[in-house]
Chains A and B, each alone.
Chain A
Amino acid sequence: MIDFHTHPVQIADLYEWDPTMEHAVRDVFGLYVKPQPMATYLGHLDEAGIDRSVILPVDCTSAHGCTVVSNQQIAALMERSDRLIGFASVDPGLPDAAARLEHDVREYGLSGLKLDPALQRFTIDDEQRAFPVYAAAAALGIPVLMHCGLSWARIGRSSLAHPLALEPVIEAFPSLRIVIAHLGWPWVPEAVMLAIKHRTVYLDTSVLFSGTPTESLRHVIDTVIGRELFDRSIPEQVVFGSNYPRVDPKRAMWAVRDLGLRPRLTQRIFNDNATALLAPGQGA
């Protein structure tokens, strides 16, 4: 099983390495709980039956003057456990973002790109700033995990994270694989529409708005989307994500398990689709 969406912002080692981490995590990311040892993070994976997890940084340099975990720190965490799959983040607001992405992916062995327009304060379809970053990701053959929808960070602007803004990106970069995080909630139909239309668009299951993850996901799948659609139209385009530490991986896993989907679809969501996404892609 692969968890495609975790933020390692609660791992205590980061706070020992970097005295600015507390500011970045509290004031930018908006998490106000105590750090925990790496053993807790790995214990969460074990308890949920997760073999490997994607760990995500967010580069907010131009918007907030910090990174919420840097690419280098992601690489350092990867040294601590071979179960961790590191993604890169670059700031589209910086002129060297594309070059930095290319460098960091190769230098640190990173497997994808994380972007959060709500926190990073960029416009998804900004041809001047964001498109060079997408072009670099496409050339590297790596997937992009794009935060879409509700941003729980107090200073995150959800209005910048509407999935429909991805349409010109998908059109301009036909080989670029894009994962819409959180099912794009509250813009779930729009996110699903993009996935139905484009085979390069994926969805992660980390939808969290109220109630337990089981209640939230069931509402979205059964009431908003319809579970038949998952099986019929996008069975290979949905990946499991917990959004840890906004919620525990075990409860996110229970949410998917409790849906009672067909076993083959559950297997795809928990493992097969993410495995395919993380396989080295063919650069554009």
Chain B
Amino acid sequence: MTSIVKRFAIQTEHDTQLIDITERVRELIAQTGIQNGSATVMTMHTTTAITVNEGLPDLEDDLLELLADLAPAGRPYRHARFLHSDGQMAVNAPSHLRGALLGMQVILPVENGRPVLGSRQTIYFVELDGPLHREAVVHVMG
């Protein structure tokens, strides 16, 4: 079995943002040369997420609004203090919690060198505390 990890960078532009990475994932899987197996798409951060949904702007807005409702700003979160290990204020609890709700990865079957996706399925990198320079990986095994 072959195992290949491909890393890629994303410069996000907003506080919260859904970024379509479907084509990028397809290209990276193709670059590995692995024809059949599985691919894991994973974010390297705890205030971002990876998810799959229908690629429609209205659904994107609905999803972000739902996340904001579920983990709203302004609650007395414990994670709201100076973080000595970073030298910065750690005041982004809602971003972490929204990320936890969506999850850090998705797993896709790989068939004939391409990810198996339904016709309405879009892979999203979800920024929840931007703008920042972010990293994600595609891990292909087969």
Contact = CB atoms under 8 A, between A and B. Distances in A.
The bracket for how many chain A residues form the interface is 20 to 34
Interface stretch (A73-81, A104-112, A204-212): A204-212
B22 to A, nearest CB: 23
Interface stretch (A24-32, A52-60, A115-123): A24-32
A68 B124 CA distance: 38
A39 B133 contact: yes
Given A210-B80, A211-B80, A30 B87 contact: yes
A33 B87 contact: yes
Contacts of B132: 36, 40, 43
B91 interface: yes
Interface residues of B, number: 22
A80 to B, nearest CB: 16
A247 B87 CA distance: 10
Nearest to A243: B89
Interface string A112-154: 0000000000000000000000000000000000000000110
Interface in B58-116: 73-74, 80-82, 85-89, 91-92
Contact of A32 (B12, B80, B86): B86
B86 to A, nearest CB: 5
A211 B88 contact: no
A212 B13 CA distance: 22
Nearest to B85: A32
A44 B85 CA distance: 22
B54 interface: no
Nearest to A213: B91
A100 interface: no
B131 interface: yes
A250 B89 contact: no
B90 to A, nearest CB: 9
Interface of B: 11-15, 73-74, 80-82, 85-89, 91-92, 129-133
Interface of A: 29-33, 36-37, 39-40, 43-44, 46-47, 152-153, 208-215, 245-248, 250-251, 254
Given A32-B86, A40-B11, A211-B80, 14 more contacts: A33-B86, A37-B11, A39-B133, A40-B133, A43-B130, A47-B131, A152-B82, A212-B73, A212-B80, A245-B88, A247-B89, A248-B92, A250-B15, A254-B73
